Structure 1
Amino acid sequence: MNLQDKVIVITGGGQGLGRAMALHLAEKGAKPALIDMNPQALDETVGLCLEKGIEARAYVANITNEEAVAEAFDSIINDFGAIHGLVNNAGVTRDAMFIKAKDGEVTKRMSLQQWQMVIDVNLTGTFLCGREAATKMIESGSEGAIINISSISRAGNIGQTNYSASKAGVVALTTTWAKELARYGIRTGAIAPGFIGTEMVMSMKPEALDMMTKGIPAKRVGEPDEIAQAVTFILENDYFSGRVIEVDGALRL
């Protein structure tokens, strides 16, 4: 897909990886439609896109709310006339051990609230936005791609029962949608980042960040723009569908 003037929806587009994706795609001539819950961050990202001479718009919505998602995608169609791609980037963590025990006595368990919050945003939100994007693309006759952001934690990670389950789930969505949506000219892809230098990661204590980095074969955290490059590859390569790209500096071997 040639990205010039293509409308690409990005959830969690206000900051972090979402902002990096928006700016990278803007440099390719795409028109970012950004969904987030933070209006100030959204406005900042839109402003940065406009500085590049690219049309971009912001949509404040909670992706776990079915009605809000439908309204956001209706607005995108009204503003741009079509949708050519979606990056399901929005996600949260609520890390906790599944069970903690001492001397045979259980002292703490992951709460249902911790489980449900992560599943609602990372998995249900991805489902709702993917369904809405596919609907609009089919109705407008726009071929394109849906990209889901997974994680190398999808293979299982201590303290991340909820997050690992959600990120494994979005890969299952990716492969299923690839088979179901191919007849409409819609491809899918997933990206599984390792440790990426977002604001959250880089705000870690220096000693903790250093210890984490030493465990990465590449000996550094990834740059947000390196994830954006993977997004661009999937969008531009018309024969890529239903697969996962790991961008982790060889951390998951």
Structure 2
Amino acid sequence: MQLKDKVIIITGGCQGLGRAMGEYLAARGAKLALVDLNPEKLEEAVRACQAAGVEARAYICNVADEEQVTHMVARVAEDFGAIHGLVNNAGILRDGLTLKVKDGEISKMSLAQWQAVIDVNLTGVFLCTREVAAKMIELQNQGAIINISSISRAGNMGQANYSAAKAGVAADTVVWAKELARYGIRVAGVAPGFIETEMTLGMKPEALDKMTAGIPLRRMGKPAEIAHSVAYILENDYYTGRILELDGGLRL
């Protein structure tokens, strides 16, 4: 798929990986629908994409809310007249051990911590994929859906909720690739390792040093490197049903 003038939706598009993807795809001529919950940062991201000379719009939407997702997708289709791609990037963290024992006292990961991550990181991907795919079929638009998983899908201590969600995303990527191929819709995934974002760069220096020491390339990935891979998947019409791992050689 040639990216010029193609309409791509990016959830979690106001900062970090989402914004990097938006700017990268805008530089290749794609039209962007950026989705998030922070209106100020979302407008900044939209302006950054527009600076590349392409059409870009902001959409406030909680991806875990079925009604909001349905409304958002309908609005994007109405505003742009087409939808050719989706990047399911929105995600949250609520890290913590499932059980922690200190001084004889047992603390537990709360159901709220578990459910919040599942709602956004897994159910949100399902809702956005379902609605975008349905609209693409309705509009007879072929294209691709890319799900952002994580190397934590293999299981990462302190991330029972996040690991479960990202493993689910990876599994459903294969399911949807098989189900939607007949409509000309490819579905693939990217599983980043540790990436330089606002979240990771806010960590203590000693924690960052310990993190990067375990990466064979001895550095974290850059958002532009993830964006480059997203563009590759969008452009390569034979790539579907696979998860592309970008972790600098790290294996959890």
Task: Give distance in 2, aligned partners of 1:245 and 1:117.
Answer: 26
| Deviation, structure 1 residue 50 | 1.1
Q: How do 1:76-91 and structure 2 match up within 5 A?
A: 76-91=76-91
| RMSD between superposed Cα atoms in Å | 1.0
Q: How do 1:82-161 and structure 2 match up within 5 A?
A: 82-101=82-101, 107-161=106-160
Report the counterpart of residue 73 of structure 2 in structure 1. 73
Report the counterpart of residue 183 of structure 2 in structure 1. 184
Amino acid aligned to 1:49: C
| Deviation, structure 1 residue 100 | 1.7
Amino acid aligned to 2:222: E
Task: Give distance in 2, aligned partners of 1:14 and 1:100.
Answer: 34
Amino acid aligned to 1:19: R
Amino acid aligned to 1:84: H
Gaps of 5+ in 2: none
The runs of 4+ residues in structure 1 deviating greater than 2 Å are: none
| Deviation, structure 1 residue 211 | 1.5
Report the counterpart of residue 11 of structure 1 in structure 2. 11
- Secondary structure of the 1:226 match is helix
| Deviation, structure 1 residue 172 | 1.1
| Deviation, structure 1 residue 230 | 0.8
Report the counterpart of residue 43 of structure 1 in structure 2. 43
- Secondary structure of the 2:146 match is strand
TM-score, normalization: structure 2?
A: 0.98
| Deviation, structure 1 residue 102 | 5.3
Q: CA-to-partner distance for each residue in 1:221-240, whole Å, 9 max, x for gaps?
A: 00000000110011000000
| Deviation, structure 1 residue 109 | 1.1
Task: Give distance in 1, aligned partners of 2:163 and 2:207.
Answer: 22
| Deviation, structure 1 residue 28 | 0.8
Q: Is the 8 A contact 1:37 1:61 kept in 2?
A: yes
Task: Give distance in 2, aligned partners of 1:209 and 1:9.
Answer: 32
- Percent identity over paired residues: 64
TM-score, normalization: structure 1?
A: 0.98
Amino acid aligned to 2:250: L
| Deviation, structure 1 residue 21 | 0.2
Task: Give distance in 2, aligned partners of 1:100 and 1:206.
Answer: 25
Report the counterpart of residue 206 of structure 2 in structure 1. 207
Task: Give distance in 2, aligned partners of 1:169 and 1:240.
Answer: 20
Task: Give distance in 1, aligned partners of 2:207 and 2:101.
Answer: 25
- Secondary structure of the 1:222 match is coil
Task: Give distance in 2, aligned partners of 1:106 and 1:83.
Answer: 52
Q: Is the 8 A contact 1:99 1:106 kept in 2?
A: no
| Deviation, structure 1 residue 106 | 5.6
Task: Give distance in 2, aligned partners of 1:29 and 1:126.
Answer: 25
Gaps of 5+ in 1: none
- Secondary structure of the 1:229 match is helix
Is 1:171 paired with 2:170?
yes
| Deviation, structure 1 residue 101 | 2.7
Task: Give distance in 2, aligned partners of 1:251 and 1:64.
Answer: 30
Q: CA-to-partner distance for each residue in 1:143-201, whole Å, 9 max, x for gaps?
A: 00010000000000000000000000001110000000000000011100000000110
- Secondary structure of the 1:95 match is coil
Task: Give distance in 1, aligned partners of 2:122 and 2:190.
Answer: 15
Task: Give distance in 1, aligned partners of 2:150 and 2:205.
Answer: 23
Task: Give distance in 2, aligned partners of 1:70 and 1:80.
Answer: 16
